Structure 1
Amino acid sequence: MSHAHKQIFVNMPVKDLAKSKAFFEAVGYSFNPQFTNDKGASLILGDNLFAMLLAEDFARTFTPKTFPDPKTNTTGWVCLSCDSREEVDALVAKAKAAGGNIPSEPQDYGFMYGHGFEDLDGHHWELVHMSGMPPQA
């Protein structure tokens, strides 16, 4: 059986919700006010693509597991497609200007260009532009 999901909500705990919201607004994103309050904020990433930034105390109500520090631990990261290399570079520049960390240099594989940033909490956001298909092995 195949599944065709209609939306994605990635849940991410954050230490300071107001600062996280300001960071992503400075990068150029907005929030869905219907699903945003003092406990969480629905970051709009695209049509039917959302990251739920959850205040840590509120996020803990959803799981008994501990949250590793994303500045020193990786449990996964968000990768978003972009329409151009210029869009990738512009978003990384805005994230850096807003206080984000740039942990690595851009990667150019010919068919794919990528770069990324870490938000204020250390969550890794990767941005890629696909200009073709990977070479066949």
Structure 2
Amino acid sequence: MMAPETSPEPNAGRPKMILLVEDSPDIRELATSSLRSADFEVIEAANAEQALEILAGMPSAPDLLITDLMLPGLNGHELAGLVRAQHPGVRVLFTTGHGAEALDSRQLASGLSAHLQKPFSLRVLRQRVREMLDVSSTH
């Protein structure tokens, strides 16, 4: 007798999708390249407004939002709040070159957010992303 078929998870087999919001073109390009080389799907935005436009056209929520805290226009905290209003379970990795006082402890307390201090190595970025997405580091 054959075992009953189980349907795979809806997102099984697809790369984890990351929405990366960084106003520095050099940092954005390096981070995107590094994450793509680790088999993540990365969609880039230069600011919060562009990220929200991209998000509105996406068929599903990203698995992770990586956002600089200090962005022109809406800041990273405001962006995260707007993204989570539409998609409450989205994980957020805040990056900042400023001290811990720039962080919103309520966002971090949710367990769905983390912080990465700039400057950071690309290895550390990939490691933190894997930790947040519970992805094996065997890529």
Measured against the shorter chain, the TM-score band is 0.3 to 0.5
More strand by share: 1
TM-score normalised to the size of structure 2?
Answer: 0.33
TM-score normalised to the size of structure 1?
Answer: 0.34
